[in-house]
């Protein structure tokens, strides 16, 4: 537990900042580099706790991964070179590691056991386990394999045609990764487009993949070739500074080299819908991913409605969007976001309780939030719910509260953004 006391600084945010590498892409760069043949160099890798879990797991299966600062050198020898780990694999708090690795472990010719921390142990895994079992996987655990810890008896898999029942890039990716080494073809059909970093990286590493709208097909028993990866800045991390600059009087900042994948830029669309003074510039492509710079300055905000196919494009940003909504004139409605119930914590509950304790007018619904603004915020003691995004949301809120905000535990921030507070201090003038 690491308590933090924060007081409103009464100063604008000014200057430039490069946010750390994208968490989703960092995870996948390790996975594909380890599965490929050859040496993959990953630049601007996010060395937060979550991504390092993925590194540690492949090291435990015999892959050579050297790290120097934010650069990785991965010596891949293909899937068949992976060896049975001598101890259970620990996923920590990383849902991405857990779900994507299940897709890989299910088709490896050996036995593994996997487990996570107290929070991850409560998160549902049957959304991944069920389709993998349809492919022939042998996975067992609590509640018929719905919760960690799990035991996986690797076996030969067969391709399936699978309609995603949830809007989840993790589930999609797990099935595609399993299909990469299964017999036959595997097709995943989405109801709404989710982040497509797995598909983009499959193409970059030479995989045979077909994408037609919301339908993705991979051929089985493929060989991947090493490919260097540059990880753009994480827009989910950038979102906290975008929100801070939008609501702190006199602020004007520029965020550099931020990932602008269209499946992730919902936060920018929402900021514009709320009337924020936000400009995206110098957009270019690198390794199949778009990136660019984002300028934003404080301006009056108005409420908006966020729903439908917009939700998967900003699911991780909803906590900070809810804070934005407290400072917008009118009502902001967020719906179709039931996925928030099964994140690191129940984020609908956590956001409602934290912002209410700070004086906001927030209602929780089954699938989202209703925020009535504009309301002044006051200091109080709040819980982080062991969730990095809740802790960072409360920290940004402290910039405008009348009184001190005391967060019970900010240690979860290290899972995605170890230098968050240093970078926030850098922008406060």
Cβ-based burial of 207 (10 A; exposed 0-12, middle 13-18, buried ≥19): buried
DSSP label at residue 345: S
Q: Angle at CA 403, nearest 5°, toward 383 and 10? A: 115
User: Pairing between strand 138-141 and 161-163?
Assistant: unpaired
How far, in Å, CA of 291 to CA of 234, rounded? 10
3-state secondary structure of 385: coil
Q: Which residues are the active-site residues?
A: 316
Of the candidates 194, 270, 195, 204, the one whose C-alpha atom is nearest the C-alpha of residue 22 is: 195
Answer yes or no: are the C-beta atoms of 236 and 317 closer than 8 Å.
Answer: yes
Answer yes or no: are the C-beta atoms of 159 and 179 closer than 8 Å.
Answer: yes
Q: What is the full DSSP assignment across 22-84?
A: PHHHHHHHHHHHHHSEEEEEEES---SHHHHHHHHHHHHTT-EEEEETTEEEEEEE-GGG---
């Amino acid at each position: 537990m690491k308590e933090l006391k924060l007081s409103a600084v009464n100063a604008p945010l000014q200057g430039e900042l490069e946010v750390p590498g994208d968490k989703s892409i960092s995870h996948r760069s390790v996975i594909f580099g380890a599965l490929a043949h050859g040496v993959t160099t990953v630049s601007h890798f996010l060395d937060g706790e979550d991504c390092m879990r993925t590194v540690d797991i492949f090291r435990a299966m015999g892959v050579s991964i050297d790290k120097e600062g934010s650069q990785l050198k991965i010596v891949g020898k293909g899937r068949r070179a992976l060896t049975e780990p001598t101890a259970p694999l620990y996923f920590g708090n990383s849902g991405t590691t857990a779900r994507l690795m299940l897709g890989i472990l299910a088709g490896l010719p050996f036995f593994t056991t996997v487990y996570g921390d107290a929070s991850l142990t409560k998160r549902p895994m049957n959304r991944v386990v069920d389709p993998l079992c349809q492919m022939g996987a042998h996975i067992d655990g609590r509640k018929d394999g719905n919760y960690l810890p799990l035991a996986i008896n690797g076996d030969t898999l067969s391709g399936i045609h699978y309609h995603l029942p949830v809007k989840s890039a993790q589930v999609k990716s797990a099935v595609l990764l399993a299909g990469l080494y299964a017999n036959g073809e595997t097709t995943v059909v989405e109801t709404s487009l989710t982040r497509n970093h797995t598909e983009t990286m499959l193409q970059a590493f030479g995989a045979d993949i077909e994408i037609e709208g919301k339908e993705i097909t991979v051929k089985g028993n493929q060989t991947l070739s090493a490919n260097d990866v540059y990880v753009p800045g994480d827009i989910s991390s950038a979102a906290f500074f975008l929100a801070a600059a939008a609501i702190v009087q006199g602020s004007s900042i520029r965020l550099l080299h931020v990932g602008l994948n269209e499946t992730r830029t919902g936060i920018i669309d929402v900021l514009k819908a709320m009337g924020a003074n936000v400009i995206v510039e110098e957009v270019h492509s690198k390794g199949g991913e778009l990136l660019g710079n984002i300028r934003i300055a404080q301006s009056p905000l108005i409420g908006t409605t966020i729903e439908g196919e917009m939700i998967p494009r900003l699911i991780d940003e909803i906590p900070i969007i809810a804070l934005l909504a407290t400072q917008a004139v009118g009502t902001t409605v967020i719906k179709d976001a039931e996925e928030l119930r099964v994140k690191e914590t129940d984020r609908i509950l956590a956001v409602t309780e934290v912002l209410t304790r700070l004086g906001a007018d927030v209602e929780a619904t089954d699938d989202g939030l209703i925020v009535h603004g504009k309301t002044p915020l006051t200091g109080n003691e709040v819980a982080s719910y062991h969730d990095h995004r809740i802790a960072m949301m409360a920290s940004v809120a402290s910039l405008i509260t009348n009184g001190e905000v005391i967060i019970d535990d900010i240690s979860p921030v290290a899972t995605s953004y170890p230098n968050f507070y240093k970078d926030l201090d850098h922008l406060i003038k």
